Every structure is written in C-alpha cells, then in structure tokens.
C-alpha cells in the first residue's frame, strides 16, 4: 500500500493505492490522520480508486481511521470504492461508511 495526502481547500484527501494488507504503511497512515487532526483538519476523503485489494487488516485500518476522525468531531468519507465494494457489503461496513462514486462528489459533500 502507498498513499499520498494533500489538502483540497480545508479537506484532507488521502489517495490510497496498491494492496492494503497492513504493515508499516498502515502505521504511517494512522499517524498522518492524527497529524491532521492535531492541525485541526477534521474533514477527510479517502480515495480508494487505485486500491487493488484489501484484507481484514485493511478494513481495520479504515474502521480505525473512521473512529479516530469521528471521536475528534470530524467527518470521514470514502470515494471510488468499486474495487472493494463487495468486501464492504459482505462485512456490512457499506452501511457504516459514507461513500461516493468519485472524489469530486465526496469533496462536494462537505459543502
């Protein structure tokens, strides 16, 4: 897994790519979320368009990110979940995560 992070206006975009299977990148991902919250950035879009595959650790990473942001009084949404939609549906997490078909729609949801 790799990820890039940047601000789009006051919204944090985390552009994730590859296979999400845990490891050092997962720890760095969580650290980045905490870093933005410390900077009082509490609006997050996780773009999963370039994610090829995700295991249970990847699901745990998303749940942990969601919980961290929510507990800080923020909002986290997912974009481009097509490749992992079946996993989210089977686990019923599809009902937990707010999700959009594109990054543009996800960003627009914050207005």
What structural domains and CATH numbers belong to the chain?
Answer: 2-41+49-108 (3.30.750.24)
**Looking at residue 64, what is its pLDDT?**
95
Full strand arrangement of the beta sheet holding 11-20:
2-8, 11-20, 43-54, 75-79, 98-100
CA 21, CA 61: separation in Å to the nearest integer? 9
In this prediction, residue 103 carries a pLDDT of 97
**Nearest 10 degrees: CA dihedral of 89, 19, 35, 12?**
-60
- Give 12-67 pLDDT, tens digit per residue: 999 999 998 888 888 999 999 999 999 999 999 999 999 998 988 999 999 999 99
Would you say residue 110 has pLDDT above 90?
Answer: yes
Place 68 in a pLDDT band, splitting at 50, 70 and 90.
very high
Q: What is the pTM for the complete model shown?
A: 0.95
Tell me the per-residue pLDDT of 90-107, one tens digit each, with 9 for 90 and over: 999 999 999 999 999 999
In this prediction, residue 22 carries a pLDDT of 82
Q: Residue 23 has what pLDDT?
A: 84
d(CA 31, CA 3): 12
């Amino acid at each position: 897994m790799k990820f890039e992070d940047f601000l789009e206006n006051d919204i944090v975009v985390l552009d994730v790519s590859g296979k999400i299977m845990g490891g050092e990148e997962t720890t760095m991902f969580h650290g980045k979320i905490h870093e933005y919250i410390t900077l009082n950035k509490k609006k997050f879009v996780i773009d999963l368009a370039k994610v090829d595959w995700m295991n249970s650790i990847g699901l745990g990473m998303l749940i942990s990110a969601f919980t961290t942001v929510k507990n800080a009084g923020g909002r986290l949404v997912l974009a481009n979940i097509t490749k992992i939609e079946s996993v989210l549906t089977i686990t019923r997490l599809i009902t937990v995560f707010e999700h959009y078909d594109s990054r543009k729609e996800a960003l627009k949801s914050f207005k």
